[in-house]
Amino acid sequence: MQRNEEIFKKLIIQSIKEALDDVPTPPYSKEETWINICKSLFKLKKSYND
Amino acid sequence: MFHNNLQKRNSSDEQSKRLIYESYYAHVYKIAYFFIKDPYIAQDILQESFIKIFTNLNKVEESSKLKAWVTTITSRTAIDFIRKQKRRNELDVENVNDIAVNINEMAPSVEEEVEKCFLCAAIRDEMDTLSPDHRIVLYLKYIHDMKDQEIARFLEIKVATVKTRIHRAKNQLKKRLEKSSIMDGDLYAEK
C-alpha cells in the first residue's frame, strides 16, 4: 500500500509538471501584454502622485 | 543576469522590469493557466501578477528568492480571482468516495515509461476536471512540497480544509485511474 502511494504520488507530480508544460498559446502577445502592464503601472503611478 | 544586480537596482528601473518580465512570463502564465484552465483569464492573472510584482519589487530582500516570490504572487492572484468568482458562482465540490488504488509491482522495463505516460495522461485529464481549489492544493503540496499547515497559512484556510481537499482530489484521480481500467488491468499486473 505504501509503495502504491509512492507510485501514485510520483504520477501526480509528473502529471502536474506535464500539465504546466502543456499550456495553450496566450490569447494576446507577450508584447501586447507588456504594453498593457506598462499602461496600468503608469496609471497607478499617476494616481499615487495625484 | 538580473539576479546579480537585483540588490542594486531601483524598483523603477525599466530595464530590470523588462528583464523580469521576459524571464518569468512563461512561468507566471503556466501557473495561472494550470489553476484556472482558461487562457484569457490566465492572461488577466498574468497581467495583474506582474503589476503586483513590479509595484512591490522593493520588498524582495534576496535575489535568490525572486522566483519563489513571483510564484507566490501569481498563486495568490489566481486564488483571489477564484474566490471572487466563487462568490459570484458557487462551485460544487464533488463528494468522492475513498477508493484504494491497486497498483501491483511495476515492471522495471522500457514499457514502464510508456505505461506511465498512459497513467499520467489519465491523471492529467482528470486533473482538468478538478476544481481550481483542489488543483491549487495539489500544486502546492506536490510541486512546492509544502506541508498541510503551510498550505493552510498560504491559502488562509483551515488545515482540516486542506486535508479534505487533498483527500478528495487524490480520490478523484484514483477513481479515474480505476475507471480507465489501467490500474486493475494488465499494465501493472505482476509478471
Q: B124 to chain A: which residues are within 8 Å by CB?
A: 15, 18-19, 22
Ramachandran category for residue B99: left, alpha or beta (phi over 0 → left; psi -120 to 50 → alpha):
beta
Which of B124, B125, B143, B178 best tests the A interface by mutation, with the highest count of A CBs <10 A? Answer: B124
> What is the pTM for the complete model shown?
0.72
Would you give the end-to-end CA distance of chain B in angstroms? 52
Q: Quote the cell numbers at residue A6.
A: 509512492
**What ipTM score was computed for the predicted complex, to two decimals?**
0.86
pLDDT at B93: 40
What pLDDT digit, counting tens, does each position of B12-38 carry?
578 889 999 999 999 999 999 999 889
A16/B30 Cβ within 8 A: no
Q: Are the Cβ atoms of B127 and A30 closer than 8 angstroms? A: no
Q: Which residues of chain B have pLDDT under 70?
A: 1-12, 89-118, 180-191
Q: What is the pLDDT of residues B76-96, one digit of tens each?
A: 999 888 888 877 765 444 433
